[in-house]
Chain A
Amino acid sequence: MFEKFKRSVGDVLDFPPDVVGEGPKITITGRQQILVENYISIITFSKEEIRLETTAGDVCFEGKELELKVLLATELRIEGELLSLSFLGREIK
Chain B
Amino acid sequence: MFDWLRMFWQGRIFFLARGDQLPLFLNQVLKDNVILYRTQRSERGMRAQIKLADFRRLRKAARQTHTRVKIMAKYGWPFIARRWWRRKGLLTGIALIAVTLTILSQLVLSISVSGNKTVLAAEVLERAEKLGLKTWTFSKNLDLNRIAKALQEQLPDAAWIGVERSGTEVKIRISEKIRPSIPKEAGNLVASHAGLVKEIMVIQGTPQVHEGEIVRAGQVLISQVQNPGFPSVPSVPNSVENKPDSSQPLSQTSAARGFVRARVWYSAEEQVPLAEDKVEGTGRVATGWGIKFGSRVIMVTTPDSPFEQTEKEVLSQYLEPWRNWRFPVEGIRVNYKEVHKVHVERSVAEARKLAEETARLEVQKKITPGVPIVEEVVKVLPNNSGAERVRVEVETYEDLAVYANP
- Using a CB–CB distance below 8 Å, which chain A residues touch chain B? 41-47, 66-73
Find B39's partner among A43, A44, A67 (CB 8 Å cutoff): A67
Whether A68 pairs with B36 at a CB distance below 8 angstroms is yes
Find A45's partner among B26, B30, B31, B35 (CB 8 Å cutoff): B26
- Give the residues in chain A near B48, CB-CB below 8 Å: 68, 71
B324 within 8 A of A: no
- Distance, CA A71 to CA B41, complexed state (A): 14
Quote the shortest CB–CB distance from B35 to chain A (angstroms).
Answer: 5
- Give the residues in chain B near A44, CB-CB below 8 Å: 23
Residue of A nearest to B32 (CB): A73
Whether A42 pairs with B41 at a CB distance below 8 angstroms is no
- Distance, CA A71 to CA B26, complexed state (A): 9
Known: A68-B40, A72-B30. 5 other contacts (CB 8 A): A41-B23, A44-B23, A45-B26, A70-B36, A71-B37
Q: Can you sample 27 A-B contacts with CB below 8 Å?
A: A41-B27, A41-B30, A42-B26, A42-B30, A44-B23, A45-B22, A45-B23, A45-B39, A47-B40, A47-B41, A66-B40, A67-B39, A67-B40, A68-B36, A68-B39, A68-B40, A68-B48, A69-B37, A69-B38, A70-B36, A70-B37, A71-B30, A71-B37, A71-B39, A72-B30, A73-B30, A73-B31
B33 within 8 A of A: yes
- Distance, CA A56 to CA B23, complexed state (A): 19
Tally the A-B contacts, defined by beta carbons under 8 Å. 43
- Distance, CA A5 to CA B153, complexed state (A): 104
Whether A70 pairs with B35 at a CB distance below 8 angstroms is yes
- Give the residues in chain B near A69, CB-CB below 8 Å: 37-38
Residue of B nearest to A79 (CB): B38
Residue of A nearest to B50 (CB): A71
User: How many B residues, CB 8 Å from partner?
Assistant: 15
- Give the residues in chain A near B33, CB-CB below 8 Å: 73
- Give the residues in chain B near A71, CB-CB below 8 Å: 26, 30, 35-37, 39, 48
- Distance, CA A67 to CA B38, complexed state (A): 6
> Do A46 and B41 form a contact, CB below 8 Å, given A71-B36, A72-B35?
yes
Q: Which of B23, B27, B36 has the most CB of A within 10 A?
A: B23
Interchain residue pairs A-B with the least CB separation, the first 9: A68-B39, A71-B36, A41-B27, A46-B41, A67-B40, A73-B30, A42-B23, A42-B26, A47-B41
- Distance, CA A71 to CA B31, complexed state (A): 11
- Give the residues in chain B near A43, CB-CB below 8 Å: 23
Quote the shortest CB–CB distance from B1 to chain A (angstroms).
Answer: 17
Residue of B nearest to A40 (CB): B27
Residue of A nearest to B39 (CB): A68
- Give the residues in chain A near B31, CB-CB below 8 Å: 73
Find B27's partner among A42, A46, A67 (CB 8 Å cutoff): A42
- Give the residues in chain B near A67, CB-CB below 8 Å: 38-40
> Do A45 and B37 form a contact, CB below 8 Å, given A71-B26, A72-B30, A73-B30?
no
